């Protein structure tokens, strides 16, 4: 049957390119594999070059197909072809142009496609730049492409993969909706005319960070395959040493990009999520941090090896594990197994968990298998390092990073442990399901605080040590920065009033120690750039990264330990939860419109609100006034209200930035608009002057009733009358108000001018006046209440977090260029001397 | 023994200490009735919202108090006192993991992990609902 208005050609083309990409990636993998195998046998390496050429050809075809798939999908989304499920599900006509790309990473298929694209880009760079290692590295990348292609192919019959070009009518979404059915129960020929708009992008993703964060993060994830592939290549070809030189800049690249991606995610979380900060040890965050930590550990051991010949085995292990943990994290976050514990919106829909598990195993088994098989033949230095050598402490530092990563991933994997233990659970529950305890963040923090402490210390003095052996001369150079750093650190703790007393004293002391070591390291590394490196910035990448990293640490420590809740509720009614309850004053505070409310150092007024012209996005203007009168500012947190048939709100925070702190606020609750239909009615009460009228939250006293005749612009005739009742209203909260409802009789008609007391959600009506006796209408209504409930925090020194990140990444990039340049120089030298591989005496 | 071995040993000890802290922080998943036996212990209870009783939340009276009823996996029902603002879309949640303490007669929780249909846009069932109600062109 032909359906009206469908555009089927792009989908057919897209599917063709998906198939082509699958086939060409298989071709590339096989060709590269054969070329490496052939070149390995010295006797018969004829044909290796031809196979390599064929591999390149296949990979070029792969690049073309993946980009074609991407472009076609983008074409479909930007033209709003809602006959395709992907476009319908993830976009809408009102979606701004800049967010069209974001549709890619809302869905599983688009995310994997993005990953695939980065592999294509990186692979092309490898072919261009890394001629020597092209074969093994490209075998690995092309193999990853095969697996990524299977994620998107959607084999008919097999529950495997998810095709982004699936038509809406074939997806099952329309099946049970009778509107779309024709007489025979099939789908109506003109069904498309009934689908006016798509489901739209999740409002949380409609944020500028979401345009840039996922592509960078995915490039980071994708790039970890390069060091992995070099390591595999080294093991495979048994050239255990030569790969380390080209792998070093790639590892730096990967660390820089992945680090940037992670922190962009943190910035996004800070700006548009509501867990009140930039980091919450959320599983999805952890899953991206762990590979980075291991990669940085591997980066350090790689540098050790390049300088001293030590730590090669560890380097292999770390660089292999870094990518494997990317795959493990992908499984964790995208299989849906984490659903219960994460705030992130990923599901197991589309791409099955088995597929992701197999993806992981197909890399883990050959990678680690090869590593253990060749372990004995990887060269190592039997003589042990001097305790005064730089490599010794770098190695310890790397191990600490690795250990920290392992602890984090273990804690994150609780749902996986539950799953595995669940397999052994029969009828009787031998293993109870475990979960993280009351203060999950603290569970992480109190372990990682020591990691921060040790890293601060090691990065501080480590730079002053020399490779191999240092002697005692370094102590002199270190003396000054150590003293300055120590004093500066103590000053920061003392004057910064870093007194985090919510937990144990030991924890507070640990925070102090960590701040002091981080500041010491910051000073020491900054000093080293001048004394040790003579301000030669080209070579200072490492020191600059350390300066950035310790700035980041100081920022993290201070901003989290000195985070203040501003919105402590001091007016609400508290329940007594009895002994043992750690209940504190709540963090939510309700602001009534127009009512100045006490909030810590501020008076806050919910002044007004406005709505986005095309979306149900509301902006709330909150006026902050310092009680000491020193400053005023307005924050505008916003929220999607009842967006796309969802009840409730999706709120985006707003922050006022100062150089040394941020005031951060977001909406947690709004009046239920469903209640806004005013259903309550007036209750009539008869009263005389001096009588008391009660309402649920207090009472009102009728003070007097007066008639008057002069109403501006309303001429009253001889038979007309106007009366006003004055009410003294005593609210239970202790506040006192005045109410003045008015009754006008004009030309035989009655006009009631009600008086509304928003703060008490109270409306008065003067219904009848007979001398001193009146009839008063009293209404209490939710609908007249306009209020917002919010949380507000003060984050001190959050800017150090962002600044530290930028400096760290800058350091990585400087190192990257320096190491590449070094590579070129030594290559040039090798051309003069006879090319020989650097080898290490066993 | 080499220095590196001593360092490794120290790190291993540090790792074990770290892990033991972590294990101490762990809690278990319970039902309302087993949680009662462990009152005073922080636990997790997997529940579903009891929709027959409206959720009580009055942001004006107390924005830090939400009261509702929930049914656990064994079908037991309990009053729940949540010391936070009501979470969005709670009425339509498909499951609520309550984190907190069983008190006398009610469950006091300070953290809820809600399985919300809104959270899972890829859910075809929800997509169907959206389509059928024509919400896609509300705005």
- Residue A26, pLDDT score: 96
A607 belongs to a structural domain: yes
Is the Cβ of A392 closer than 8 Å to some Cβ of chain B? yes
Query: Which H/E stretch holds residue A603?
Result: strand A602-611
Neighbours of A220 (CB within 10 A): 26
Q: Is the pLDDT of residue B126 over 70?
A: no
- Residue A579, pLDDT score: 36
Q: Which residue in the block uniquely carries the two structure tokens 């899972």?
A: B120
**Residues of chain A neighbouring B10 (CB-CB closer than 8 A):** none
Q: Is the pLDDT of residue B120 over 70?
A: no
Q: Which of A80, A175, A648 to mutate to test the interface with B (most CBs of B within 10 A)?
A: A648
**How far lies B114's CA from each of A482, B43, B46, in Å?**
50, 16, 10
Q: Does A781 lie in the same domain as A636?
A: no
First to last CA, chain A: 73
Question: Residue A257's pLDDT band (boundaries 50, 70, 90)?
Answer: very high
- Residue A428, pLDDT score: 60
- Of residues A161, A163, A164, A166, the one with CA closest to residue A151: A161
A20 belongs to a structural domain: yes
Which tokens is A707 given?
Answer: 């008639």
Q: How far is CA A550 from the centre of its chain?
A: 22
- Residue A577, pLDDT score: 38
DSSP A167: B
Question: Residue B3's pLDDT band (boundaries 50, 70, 90)?
Answer: confident
Which tokens is A89 given?
Answer: 């599900």
- Residue B2, pLDDT score: 77
* CA separation for the pair A69, A165 (Å, rounded): 9
A658 belongs to a structural domain: yes
B residues 87-126 closer than 8 Å to A (CB): 87-92, 97, 99, 101, 103-104, 108, 110, 113, 115, 117-124
Give residue A758's domain range: 675-786
pLDDT tens track for A128-170:
999 899 999 999 999 999 999 998 887 665 666 788 888 888 8
Average confidence (pLDDT) over A395-402? 94
Q: Does A61 lie in the same domain as A175?
A: yes
pLDDT tens track for A198-251:
877 877 777 788 889 999 999 999 999 999 999 999 999 999 999 999 999 999
Sign of the C-alpha dihedral computed for residues A528, A534, A535 and A540 taken in this order:
negative
Looking at per-residue pLDDT, the higher value among A101 and A146 belongs to A146
Sign of the C-alpha dihedral computed for residues A340, A342, A347 and A348 taken in this order:
negative
Q: Does A775 lie in the same domain as A663?
A: no
Is the Cβ of B27 closer than 8 Å to some Cβ of chain A? yes
Q: Does A680 lie in the same domain as A665?
A: no
Average confidence (pLDDT) over A180-197? 77
Candidates B42, B103, B121; nearest CB to A202? B121
CB contact under 8 A, A407 and B103: no
pLDDT tens track for A549-596:
999 999 999 988 888 888 876 544 333 333 333 445 678 888 887 778
Is the Cβ of A177 closer than 8 Å to some Cβ of chain B? yes
- Of residues A137, A73, A140, the one with CA closest to residue A110: A73
- Residue A466, pLDDT score: 85
- Residue A487, pLDDT score: 93
- Of residues B70, B76, B78, the one with CA closest to residue B47: B70
Q: Does A382 lie in the same domain as A233?
A: yes
Candidates A433, A590, A614; nearest CB to B60? A590
Residues 6+ apart with CB under 8 A from B129: A645, B117
**Residues of chain A neighbouring B60 (CB-CB closer than 8 A):** 590, 592, 761, 785, 787
- Of residues A613, A626, A572, the one with CA closest to residue A787: A572
CB contact under 8 A, A787 and B59: yes
- Residue A648, pLDDT score: 63
Average confidence (pLDDT) over A99-114? 86
A357: helix, strand or coil: helix
Domain boundary among A182, A199, A216: A199
Least confident piece of the model among A254-258, A381-385, A632-636, B105-109: A381-385
Looking at per-residue pLDDT, the higher value among A535 and A802 belongs to A802
Q: Is the pLDDT of residue A732 over 80?
A: no
pLDDT tens track for A760-784:
778 888 888 888 888 888 887 665 5
* CA separation for the pair A146, A152 (Å, rounded): 10
pLDDT tens track for B16-65:
888 888 888 888 888 888 888 887 788 888 888 888 888 888 877 778 88
Output the CA torsion A709→A714→A717→A722 (10° steps). Answer: -40
Question: Residue A815's pLDDT band (boundaries 50, 70, 90)?
Answer: very high
**Residues of chain A neighbouring B138 (CB-CB closer than 8 A):** 616, 644-645
A711 belongs to a structural domain: yes
CB contact under 8 A, B62 and A586: yes
Average confidence (pLDDT) over A776-798? 81
Q: Does A37 lie in the same domain as A130?
A: yes
Which tokens is A110 given?
Answer: 């688009």
Q: Is the pLDDT of residue A191 over 70?
A: yes
A259 belongs to a structural domain: yes
Least confident piece of the model among A655-659, A668-672, A825-829: A825-829
Question: Residue A427's pLDDT band (boundaries 50, 70, 90)?
Answer: low
Residues 6+ apart with CB under 8 A from A428: none
Average confidence (pLDDT) over B65-91? 87
Neighbours of B47 (CB within 10 A): 26
Query: Which H/E stretch holds residue A586?
Result: none
Q: Is the pLDDT of residue A808 over 80?
A: yes
Looking at per-residue pLDDT, the higher value among A92 and A522 belongs to A522
CB contact under 8 A, B62 and A671: no
* CA separation for the pair A131, A127 (Å, rounded): 6
Output the CA torsion A215→A221→A224→A228 (10° steps). Answer: -130
**Residues of chain B neighbouring A385 (CB-CB closer than 8 A):** 3-4
Neighbours of A44 (CB within 10 A): 10
* CA separation for the pair A743, A722 (Å, rounded): 6
Q: Does A416 lie in the same domain as A285?
A: yes
Candidates A94, A436, A589; nearest CB to B26? A436
Q: Does A305 lie in the same domain as A408?
A: yes
CB A814 within 8 A of CB A544: yes
Looking at per-residue pLDDT, the higher value among B119 and A40 belongs to A40
Neighbours of A58 (CB within 10 A): 22
Is the Cβ of A693 closer than 8 Å to some Cβ of chain B? no
Question: Residue A717's pLDDT band (boundaries 50, 70, 90)?
Answer: confident
* CA separation for the pair A487, A509 (Å, rounded): 16
CB contact under 8 A, A89 and B121: yes
Within A430-492, strands assigned E span 434-436
CB A380 within 8 A of CB A299: no
Neighbours of B34 (CB within 10 A): 17
CB contact under 8 A, B122 and A395: no
Q: Is the pLDDT of residue A25 over 90?
A: yes
> Considering only alpha carbons, which residue of chain B is nearest residue A401?
B11
Is the Cβ of B136 closer than 8 Å to some Cβ of chain A? yes
* CA separation for the pair A419, A336 (Å, rounded): 12
Is the Cβ of B42 closer than 8 Å to some Cβ of chain A? yes
- Residue B63, pLDDT score: 83
A258 belongs to a structural domain: yes
Is the Cβ of B64 closer than 8 Å to some Cβ of chain A? yes
Average confidence (pLDDT) over A811-830? 82
Least confident piece of the model among A247-256, A332-341, A558-567: A332-341
**Residues of chain A neighbouring B91 (CB-CB closer than 8 A):** 647
> Considering only alpha carbons, which residue of chain A is nearest residue B6?
A396
Q: Chain-wide mean pLDDT for chain A?
A: 84
Q: Is the pLDDT of residue A722 over 60?
A: yes
* CA separation for the pair A745, A716 (Å, rounded): 9
Q: Is the pLDDT of residue B138 over 60?
A: no
> Considering only alpha carbons, which residue of chain B is nearest residue A441?
B25
Separation in Å, CA of A421 to nearest CA in chain B: 13
Candidates B119, B130, B139; nearest CB to A615? B139
- Residue B133, pLDDT score: 38
* CA separation for the pair A758, A783 (Å, rounded): 10
Q: Give ipTM to 2 decimals.
A: 0.81
Question: Residue B128's pLDDT band (boundaries 50, 70, 90)?
Answer: very low
* CA separation for the pair A542, A815 (Å, rounded): 7
**Residues of chain A neighbouring B40 (CB-CB closer than 8 A):** 580
Q: Does A141 lie in the same domain as A6?
A: yes
A569 belongs to a structural domain: no
**Residues of chain B neighbouring A387 (CB-CB closer than 8 A):** 3
Q: Does A623 lie in the same domain as A537?
A: no
* CA separation for the pair A216, A254 (Å, rounded): 11
- Residue A675, pLDDT score: 54
- Residue A582, pLDDT score: 41
Candidates A399, A447, A587; nearest CB to B21? A447
pLDDT tens track for A750-759:
777 778 776 7
Q: How many domains does chain A have?
A: 5
pLDDT tens track for A306-329:
999 989 999 999 999 999 999 999
A581 belongs to a structural domain: no
Q: CA A690, A693, A698: angle at the middle one, nearest 5?
A: 120
CB A18 within 8 A of CB A165: yes
pLDDT tens track for A31-62:
999 999 988 876 667 788 899 999 999 999 99
Domains of chain B: 27-130 (2.40.50.140)
Size of interface A-B (CB pairs under 8 A): 207
Q: Does A383 lie in the same domain as A240?
A: yes
Average confidence (pLDDT) over A466-483? 82
* CA separation for the pair A141, A438 (Å, rounded): 43
Is the Cβ of A617 closer than 8 Å to some Cβ of chain B? no
* CA separation for the pair A250, A115 (Å, rounded): 17
Q: Does A159 lie in the same domain as A25?
A: yes
Q: Is the pLDDT of residue A15 over 50?
A: yes
- Residue A499, pLDDT score: 77
């Amino acid at each position: 049957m032909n359906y009206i208005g469908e555009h089927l050609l792009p989908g057919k083309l897209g599917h063709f390119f998906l198939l082509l990409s699958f086939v060409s990636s298989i071709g590339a993998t096989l060709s590269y594999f054969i070329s490496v195998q052939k070149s390995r046998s010295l006797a018969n390496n004829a044909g290796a070059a031809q196979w390599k050429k064929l591999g390149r050809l296949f990979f070029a075809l792969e690049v073309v197909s993946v980009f074609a798939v991407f472009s076609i999908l983008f074409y479909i989304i930007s033209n709003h072809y809602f006959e395709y499920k992907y476009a319908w599900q993830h976009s809408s006509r009102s979606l701004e142009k800049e967010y069209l790309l974001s549709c890619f990473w809302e869905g599983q298929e688009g995310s994997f496609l993005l990953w695939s694209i980065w592999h294509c880009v990186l692979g092309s760079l490898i072919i261009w730049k890394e001629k020597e290692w092209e074969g093994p590295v490209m075998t690995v990348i092309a193999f990853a492409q095969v697996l990524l292609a299977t994620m998107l192919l959607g084999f008919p019959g097999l529950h495997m993969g998810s095709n982004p070009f699936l038509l809406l009518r074939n997806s099952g979404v329309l099946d049970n909706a009778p509107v779309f059915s024709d007489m025979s129960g099939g789908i109506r020929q003109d069904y498309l005319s009934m689908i006016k708009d798509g489901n739209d992008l999740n409002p949380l993703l409609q944020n500028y960070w979401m345009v840039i964060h996922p592509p960078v993060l995915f490039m980071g994830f994708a790039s970890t395959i390069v060091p992995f592939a070099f390591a595999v290549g080294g093991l495979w070809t048994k050239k255990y040493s030569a790969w380390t030189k080209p792998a070093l800049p790639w590892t730096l690249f990967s660390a820089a990009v992945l680090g940037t991606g992670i922190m962009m995610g943190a910035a996004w979380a800070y700006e548009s999520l509501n867990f009140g900060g930039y980091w919450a040890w959320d599983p999805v965050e952890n899953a991206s941090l762990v590979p980075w930590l291991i990669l940085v550990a591997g980066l350090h051991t790689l540098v050790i090896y390049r300088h001293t010949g030590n730590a090669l085995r560890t380097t292999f292990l770390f660089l292999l594990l870094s990518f494997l943990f990317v795959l493990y994290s992908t499984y964790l976050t995208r299989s849906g197994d984490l659903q219960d514990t994460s705030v992130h919106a990923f599901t197991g829909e589309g791409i099955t968990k088995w597929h992701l598990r197999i993806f992981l195993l197909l890399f883990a088994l050959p990678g680690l298998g090869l590593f253990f098989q060749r372990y004995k033949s990887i060269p190592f230095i039997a003589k042990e390092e001097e305790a005064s050598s730089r490599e010794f402490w770098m190695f310890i530092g790397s191990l600490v990073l690795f250990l920290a990563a392992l602890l984090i991933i273990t804690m994150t994997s609780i749902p996986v442990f539950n799953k595995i233990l669940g397999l052994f659970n029969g009828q009787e529950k031998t293993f109870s399901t475990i979960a993280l305890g009351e203060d999950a963040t603290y569970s992480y923090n109190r372990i990682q605080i020591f990691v921060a402490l040790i890293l601060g210390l090691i990065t501080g003095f480590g730079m002053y040590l020399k490779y191999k052996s240092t002697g005692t001369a370094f102590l002199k150079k270190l003396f000054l920065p150590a003293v300055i750093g120590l004093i500066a650190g103590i000053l920061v703790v003392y004057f910064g009033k870093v007194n985090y007393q919510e937990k144990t004293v030991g924890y507070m002391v640990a925070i102090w120690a960590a701040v002091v070591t981080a500041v010491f390291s910051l000073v020491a590394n900054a000093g080293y750039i001048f004394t040790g490196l003579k301000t030669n910035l080209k070579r200072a990448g490492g020191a600059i990264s350390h300066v950035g990293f310790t700035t980041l640490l100081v920022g993290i420590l201070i901003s989290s330990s000195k985070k203040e809740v501003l919105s402590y509720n001091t007016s609400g009614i508290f329940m007594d939860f009895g002994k043992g309850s750690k209940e504190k004053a709540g963090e939510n505070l309700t602001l009534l419109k127009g009512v100045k409310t006490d909030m810590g150092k501020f008076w806050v007024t919910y002044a007004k609100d406005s709505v986005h012209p095309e979306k149900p996005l509301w902006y709330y203007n909150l006026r902050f006034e310092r009680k000491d009168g020193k400053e005023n500012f307005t924050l505008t947190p916003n929220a999607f209200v009842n967006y796309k048939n969802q009840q409730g709100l999706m709120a985006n925070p707003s922050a006022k930035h100062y150089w040394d702190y941020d005031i951060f606020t977001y909406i947690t609750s709004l009046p239920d608009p469903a209640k806004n239909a005013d259903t309550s009615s007036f209750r009539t009460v008869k009263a005389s002057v001096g009588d008391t009228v009660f309402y649920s939250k207090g009472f009102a006293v009728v003070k007097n009733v007066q008639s008057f005749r002069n109403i501006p612009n309303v001429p009253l005739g001889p038979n007309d009358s106007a009366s006003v009742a004055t009410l003294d209203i005593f609210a239970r909260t202790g506040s006192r108000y005045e109410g003045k409802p008015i009754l006008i009789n004009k030309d035989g008609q009655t006009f009631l001018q009600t008086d509304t007391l928003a703060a008490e959600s109270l409306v008065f009506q003067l219904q009848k006046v007979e001398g001193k006796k009146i009839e008063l209408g009293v209404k209490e209504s939710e609908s007249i209440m306009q209020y917002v409930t919010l949380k507000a925090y003060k984050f001190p020194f959050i800017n150090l977090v962002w600044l530290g990140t930028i400096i760290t990444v800058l350091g990585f990039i400087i190192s990257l260029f320096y190491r590449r340049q070094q590579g070129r120089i030594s290559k040039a030298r090798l051309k003069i001397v006879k090319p020989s591989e650097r080898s290490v005496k066993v | 023994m080499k220095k590196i071995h001593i360092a490794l040993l120290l790190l291993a000890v540090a790792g074990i200490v770290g892990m033991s802290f972590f294990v101490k922080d762990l809690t278990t998943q319970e039902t309302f009735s087993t949680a009662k036996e462990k009152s005073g212990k922080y636990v997790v209870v997997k529940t579903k919202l009891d929709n027959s009783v409206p959720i009580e939340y009055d942001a004006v009276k107390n924005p830090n108090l939400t009261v509702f009823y929930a049914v656990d996996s064994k079908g037991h029902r309990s009053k729940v006192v949540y010391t936070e603002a009501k979470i969005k879309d709670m009425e339509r949640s498909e499951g609520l993991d309550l984190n907190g303490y069983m008190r006398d007669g009610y469950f006091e929780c300070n953290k809820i992990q809600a399985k919300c249909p809104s959270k899972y846009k890829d859910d075809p069932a929800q997509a169907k609902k959206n389509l059928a109600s024509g919400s896609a062109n509300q705005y």
